[in-house]
Structure 1
Amino acid sequence: MNLFLNIIWIVFGGFVIAIEYIVSSVAMMLTIIGIPFGLQTLKLALVALTPFGTRVESSPTSNGCISLLMNVIWWFVGGIPIALTHLGFGLLFCITIIGIPFGIQHFKLAGLAFTPFGKTIINY
Protein backbone atom coordinates (compact mmCIF):
# COMPACT_ATOMS: atom_id res chain seq x y z
CA MET A 1 0.00 0.00 0.00
CA ASN A 2 2.88 2.39 0.78
CA LEU A 3 4.33 1.81 -2.69
CA PHE A 4 1.00 2.63 -4.33
CA LEU A 5 0.55 5.80 -2.24
CA ASN A 6 4.16 6.87 -2.91
CA ILE A 7 3.59 6.48 -6.67
CA ILE A 8 0.48 8.64 -6.47
CA TRP A 9 2.40 11.17 -4.34
CA ILE A 10 5.28 11.33 -6.85
CA VAL A 11 3.00 11.72 -9.86
CA PHE A 12 0.91 14.48 -8.31
CA GLY A 13 3.68 16.75 -7.05
CA GLY A 14 6.07 14.85 -4.81
CA PHE A 15 8.75 14.70 -7.48
CA VAL A 16 8.56 18.47 -8.03
CA ILE A 17 8.78 19.13 -4.28
CA ALA A 18 11.82 16.85 -3.97
CA ILE A 19 13.56 18.53 -6.93
CA GLU A 20 12.92 21.95 -5.38
CA TYR A 21 14.48 20.79 -2.12
CA ILE A 22 17.50 19.35 -3.95
CA VAL A 23 18.05 22.56 -5.94
CA SER A 24 17.81 24.68 -2.78
CA SER A 25 20.17 22.27 -1.03
CA VAL A 26 22.79 22.63 -3.74
CA ALA A 27 22.40 26.42 -3.60
CA MET A 28 22.91 26.41 0.17
CA MET A 29 25.95 24.16 -0.09
CA LEU A 30 27.77 26.65 -2.31
CA THR A 31 28.99 28.34 0.85
CA ILE A 32 30.71 26.60 3.73
CA ILE A 33 28.31 28.16 6.24
CA GLY A 34 25.32 26.77 4.33
CA ILE A 35 26.46 23.12 4.26
CA PRO A 36 24.63 22.05 7.47
CA PHE A 37 21.44 23.68 6.20
CA GLY A 38 21.86 22.05 2.80
CA LEU A 39 22.18 18.65 4.44
CA GLN A 40 18.91 19.21 6.31
CA THR A 41 17.23 20.22 3.06
CA LEU A 42 18.41 16.93 1.55
CA LYS A 43 16.70 15.19 4.47
CA LEU A 44 13.51 17.05 3.54
CA ALA A 45 13.96 16.01 -0.11
CA LEU A 46 14.23 12.35 0.88
CA VAL A 47 11.00 12.45 2.86
CA ALA A 48 9.28 14.59 0.22
CA LEU A 49 10.04 12.01 -2.46
CA THR A 50 8.62 8.99 -0.62
CA PRO A 51 6.79 10.05 2.55
CA PHE A 52 4.66 6.93 2.97
CA GLY A 53 6.52 4.29 4.94
CA THR A 54 8.83 6.77 6.65
CA ARG A 55 8.75 8.09 10.18
CA VAL A 56 10.51 11.14 11.62
CA GLU A 57 11.87 10.76 15.15
CA SER A 58 14.13 12.71 17.43
CA SER A 59 17.67 11.47 17.17
CA PRO A 60 18.99 9.80 20.31
CA THR A 61 22.38 11.37 19.60
CA SER A 62 21.17 14.92 19.01
CA ASN A 63 23.63 17.60 20.00
CA GLY A 64 21.31 19.40 22.45
CA CYS A 65 22.15 23.08 22.42
CA ILE A 66 23.77 22.90 19.00
CA SER A 67 20.60 21.42 17.47
CA LEU A 68 18.49 24.05 19.20
CA LEU A 69 20.72 26.88 17.97
CA MET A 70 20.77 25.51 14.41
CA ASN A 71 16.98 25.10 14.44
CA VAL A 72 16.55 28.74 15.52
CA ILE A 73 18.86 29.88 12.72
CA TRP A 74 16.98 27.55 10.34
CA TRP A 75 13.68 29.27 11.21
CA PHE A 76 15.07 32.57 9.95
CA VAL A 77 16.79 31.06 6.91
CA GLY A 78 13.54 29.61 5.61
CA GLY A 79 12.14 26.99 7.92
CA ILE A 80 9.02 28.92 8.92
CA PRO A 81 7.82 29.62 5.34
CA ILE A 82 8.48 26.00 4.33
CA ALA A 83 6.60 24.67 7.36
CA LEU A 84 3.68 27.04 6.76
CA THR A 85 3.50 25.97 3.11
CA HIS A 86 3.30 22.31 4.09
CA LEU A 87 0.75 23.16 6.78
CA GLY A 88 -1.40 24.96 4.21
CA PHE A 89 -1.20 22.09 1.75
CA GLY A 90 -2.00 19.64 4.55
CA LEU A 91 -5.14 21.59 5.44
CA LEU A 92 -6.09 21.83 1.76
CA PHE A 93 -5.71 18.09 1.23
CA CYS A 94 -7.69 17.27 4.38
CA ILE A 95 -10.81 18.90 2.92
CA THR A 96 -11.63 15.65 1.12
CA ILE A 97 -11.63 12.15 2.53
CA ILE A 98 -9.40 10.88 -0.28
CA GLY A 99 -6.82 13.60 0.41
CA ILE A 100 -6.48 12.95 4.15
CA PRO A 101 -3.49 10.53 3.84
CA PHE A 102 -1.68 13.10 1.68
CA GLY A 103 -2.54 15.89 4.12
CA ILE A 104 -1.08 13.84 6.97
CA GLN A 105 2.16 13.49 5.00
CA HIS A 106 2.28 17.26 4.51
CA PHE A 107 1.83 17.70 8.27
CA LYS A 108 4.77 15.32 8.78
CA LEU A 109 6.84 17.39 6.34
CA ALA A 110 5.79 20.60 8.12
CA GLY A 111 7.07 19.24 11.43
CA LEU A 112 10.35 18.21 9.86
CA ALA A 113 10.67 21.54 8.04
CA PHE A 114 10.13 23.44 11.28
CA THR A 115 12.86 21.63 13.26
CA PRO A 116 15.06 19.43 11.01
CA PHE A 117 18.17 19.42 13.21
CA GLY A 118 18.23 16.55 15.68
CA LYS A 119 15.73 14.45 13.71
CA THR A 120 16.27 11.13 11.94
CA ILE A 121 14.23 9.45 9.24
CA ILE A 122 13.25 5.83 9.79
CA ASN A 123 11.88 3.63 7.04
CA TYR A 124 9.46 0.94 8.07
Structure 2
Amino acid sequence: MKTLLNLIWFIFGGFVLALGYYLAGIVCCALIITIPWGIASFRIGSYALWPFGRTIVDRGGRVGAFSTLGNVIWLLVAGIWIAIGHVATAITMAMTIVGIPLAIANLKLIPVSLMPLGKEIVPTDRLLAGYGR
Protein backbone atom coordinates (compact mmCIF):
# COMPACT_ATOMS: atom_id res chain seq x y z
CA MET A 1 0.00 0.00 0.00
CA LYS A 2 2.82 2.43 0.82
CA THR A 3 4.29 1.89 -2.66
CA LEU A 4 0.98 2.81 -4.29
CA LEU A 5 0.61 5.87 -2.06
CA ASN A 6 4.20 6.91 -2.82
CA LEU A 7 3.53 6.67 -6.57
CA ILE A 8 0.34 8.73 -6.29
CA TRP A 9 2.19 11.22 -4.08
CA PHE A 10 5.07 11.42 -6.58
CA ILE A 11 2.71 12.22 -9.45
CA PHE A 12 0.46 14.70 -7.63
CA GLY A 13 3.01 16.90 -5.94
CA GLY A 14 5.91 14.96 -4.44
CA PHE A 15 8.18 15.40 -7.45
CA VAL A 16 7.68 19.17 -7.63
CA LEU A 17 7.98 19.51 -3.85
CA ALA A 18 11.22 17.52 -3.80
CA LEU A 19 12.62 19.60 -6.66
CA GLY A 20 11.94 22.75 -4.64
CA TYR A 21 13.78 21.36 -1.63
CA TYR A 22 16.68 20.18 -3.83
CA LEU A 23 16.93 23.60 -5.47
CA ALA A 24 16.99 25.26 -2.04
CA GLY A 25 19.71 22.77 -1.01
CA ILE A 26 21.84 23.67 -4.02
CA VAL A 27 21.48 27.40 -3.33
CA CYS A 28 22.29 26.94 0.36
CA CYS A 29 25.36 24.84 -0.40
CA ALA A 30 26.57 27.34 -2.99
CA LEU A 31 26.48 30.12 -0.38
CA ILE A 32 28.95 28.15 1.81
CA ILE A 33 27.85 29.57 5.17
CA THR A 34 24.39 28.03 4.77
CA ILE A 35 25.64 24.49 4.06
CA PRO A 36 23.90 22.99 7.16
CA TRP A 37 20.55 24.19 5.81
CA GLY A 38 21.48 22.87 2.37
CA ILE A 39 22.12 19.41 3.76
CA ALA A 40 18.84 19.60 5.69
CA SER A 41 17.05 20.64 2.48
CA PHE A 42 18.42 17.61 0.64
CA ARG A 43 17.28 15.38 3.52
CA ILE A 44 13.78 16.91 3.50
CA GLY A 45 13.69 16.63 -0.30
CA SER A 46 14.30 12.88 -0.16
CA TYR A 47 11.52 12.59 2.43
CA ALA A 48 9.21 14.77 0.31
CA LEU A 49 9.85 12.50 -2.67
CA TRP A 50 8.75 9.25 -0.93
CA PRO A 51 7.09 10.05 2.46
CA PHE A 52 5.07 6.88 3.01
CA GLY A 53 6.89 4.25 5.04
CA ARG A 54 9.20 6.79 6.67
CA THR A 55 8.90 9.18 9.60
CA ILE A 56 10.78 11.98 11.35
CA VAL A 57 12.42 11.58 14.75
CA ASP A 58 14.49 13.92 16.90
CA ARG A 59 18.16 13.12 17.21
CA GLY A 60 17.84 13.54 20.95
CA GLY A 61 20.88 14.58 22.97
CA ARG A 62 23.04 15.03 19.86
CA VAL A 63 21.52 18.46 19.16
CA GLY A 64 23.64 21.39 20.26
CA ALA A 65 23.36 25.13 20.57
CA PHE A 66 24.31 25.67 16.92
CA SER A 67 21.42 23.48 15.76
CA THR A 68 19.02 25.42 17.97
CA LEU A 69 20.31 28.76 16.69
CA GLY A 70 20.21 27.45 13.12
CA ASN A 71 16.62 26.32 13.56
CA VAL A 72 15.58 29.73 14.86
CA ILE A 73 17.20 31.44 11.87
CA TRP A 74 15.63 28.93 9.47
CA LEU A 75 12.20 29.39 11.10
CA LEU A 76 12.32 33.15 10.65
CA VAL A 77 13.76 33.17 7.13
CA ALA A 78 12.08 30.23 5.42
CA GLY A 79 10.41 27.74 7.74
CA ILE A 80 7.20 29.60 8.42
CA TRP A 81 6.59 30.21 4.70
CA ILE A 82 7.27 26.60 3.79
CA ALA A 83 4.91 25.43 6.55
CA ILE A 84 2.16 27.74 5.25
CA GLY A 85 2.69 26.24 1.80
CA HIS A 86 2.35 22.72 3.20
CA VAL A 87 -0.90 23.64 5.00
CA ALA A 88 -2.36 25.25 1.86
CA THR A 89 -1.42 22.24 -0.25
CA ALA A 90 -2.79 19.83 2.35
CA ILE A 91 -6.15 21.64 2.36
CA THR A 92 -6.30 21.37 -1.42
CA MET A 93 -5.37 17.67 -1.38
CA ALA A 94 -7.92 16.87 1.34
CA MET A 95 -10.80 17.95 -0.89
CA THR A 96 -10.96 14.45 -2.39
CA ILE A 97 -11.11 11.10 -0.63
CA VAL A 98 -8.02 9.85 -2.47
CA GLY A 99 -6.16 13.00 -1.47
CA ILE A 100 -6.71 12.63 2.29
CA PRO A 101 -3.65 10.38 2.86
CA LEU A 102 -1.63 12.78 0.70
CA ALA A 103 -2.82 15.72 2.81
CA ILE A 104 -1.79 13.88 5.98
CA ALA A 105 1.67 13.22 4.48
CA ASN A 106 1.93 16.89 3.60
CA LEU A 107 1.10 17.85 7.18
CA LYS A 108 3.78 15.41 8.42
CA LEU A 109 6.34 17.53 6.55
CA ILE A 110 5.55 20.65 8.60
CA PRO A 111 7.64 19.89 11.73
CA VAL A 112 10.78 19.15 9.73
CA SER A 113 10.20 22.14 7.44
CA LEU A 114 9.92 24.43 10.48
CA MET A 115 12.95 23.11 12.37
CA PRO A 116 15.08 20.88 10.09
CA LEU A 117 18.30 20.71 12.09
CA GLY A 118 18.47 17.95 14.70
CA LYS A 119 15.94 15.74 12.91
CA GLU A 120 16.44 12.35 11.31
CA ILE A 121 14.25 10.57 8.77
CA VAL A 122 13.94 6.84 9.45
CA PRO A 123 11.87 3.98 8.02
CA THR A 124 8.75 3.33 10.08
CA ASP A 125 9.62 -0.36 10.44
CA ARG A 126 12.93 0.65 12.05
CA LEU A 127 11.01 2.90 14.44
CA LEU A 128 8.63 0.09 15.34
CA ALA A 129 11.58 -2.26 15.93
CA GLY A 130 12.76 -0.14 18.85
CA TYR A 131 14.63 2.86 17.39
CA GLY A 132 15.37 5.38 20.11
CA ARG A 133 14.91 3.03 23.09
Which AA in structure 2 matches 1:33?
I
Mapping for residues 12-27 of structure 1, pairs under 5 Å: 12-27=12-27
Q: Distance in 2 between matches of 1:6 and 1:37?
A: 25
Mapping for residues 49-60 of structure 1, pairs under 5 Å: 49-60=49-60
Mapping for residues 1-124 of structure 1, pairs under 5 Å: 1-124=1-124
SS of 1:102 mapped into structure 2? helix
Which AA in structure 1 matches 2:30?
L
Between 1:8-17 and 1:43-52, the stretch displaced more is 8-17
SS of 1:104 mapped into structure 2? helix
Percent same amino acid at aligned positions? 38
1:41-70 deviation digits (Å, cap 9, x = unpaired): 111101110000110011124324322211
List alignment gaps of at least 5 residues for structure 1.
none
Q: Distance in 1 between matches of 2:61 and 2:29?
A: 24
Kept after mapping to 2: 8 A contact 1:57/1:120:
yes
Q: Distance in 2 between matches of 1:98 and 1:4?
A: 12
Instruction: Give the aligned CA root-mean-square deviation in angstroms.
Output: 1.3
Kept after mapping to 2: 8 A contact 1:62/1:119:
no
- Aligned equivalent of 2:127: none
TM-score using structure 2 length: 0.86
Q: Distance in 2 between matches of 1:108 and 1:43?
A: 14
Which AA in structure 2 matches 1:18?
A
Which AA in structure 2 matches 1:5?
L
SS of 1:116 mapped into structure 2? coil
Between 1:73-82 and 1:91-100, the stretch displaced more is 91-100
